[in-house]
Amino acid sequence: MENEVIRRESEQGSTQIATKPIRSLEDALEKCQAMGMRLSRQRRFILELLWQAQEHLSAREIYNRLNLLGKNIGHTSVYQNLEALSAQGIIECVERSDGRLYGNISDSHSHVNCMDTNQILDVYVELPEELLKQIEQQTGVKITDYSINFYGYRIGEAKSNQQ
């Protein structure tokens, strides 16, 4: 899969082409350059922060963290760069009822949405081959990738939230 060309349909309907998966900050920077995107200092700051943070952050959190680090970057610049980077498949954008969260892209993964902390945790889940075949037979669609969203509360909090 390393040299395989991957085509993905984005939410906006455009086809995205990647020559290899993005597994590091360096891969993200290379993809920006390969796509002809300008690597402004603001864009670099955002990418560096997302790869260092290893968590999903709102645009406001990204803005606040960058400014705490002394990186003078405006709200509008943060929002515009996040939109451009997510539209090109360089970063991940997760839609939530309370807004969008952004994170670095890693290999195919699923999410655990922790309801009491509002965190999104990346998990790697491999479904049994029999289940994938059953889904393919039911739908007539060849499964090539999947992502599952789990929702719940921290183990210690789960009992009190169920009452």
Name the binding residues for Zn(2+). Answer: 114
Binding residues for Fe cation: 129
Q: Strand 110-114 relative to strand 149-152: parallel, antiparallel, unpaired?
A: parallel
Q: Where are the alpha helices (DSSP H) in 88-154?
A: 129-139
Binding residues: 114, 129
Cα Rg, the chain, nearest whole Å: 18
**DSSP string for residues in 42-55:** HHHHHHHHHHHH-S
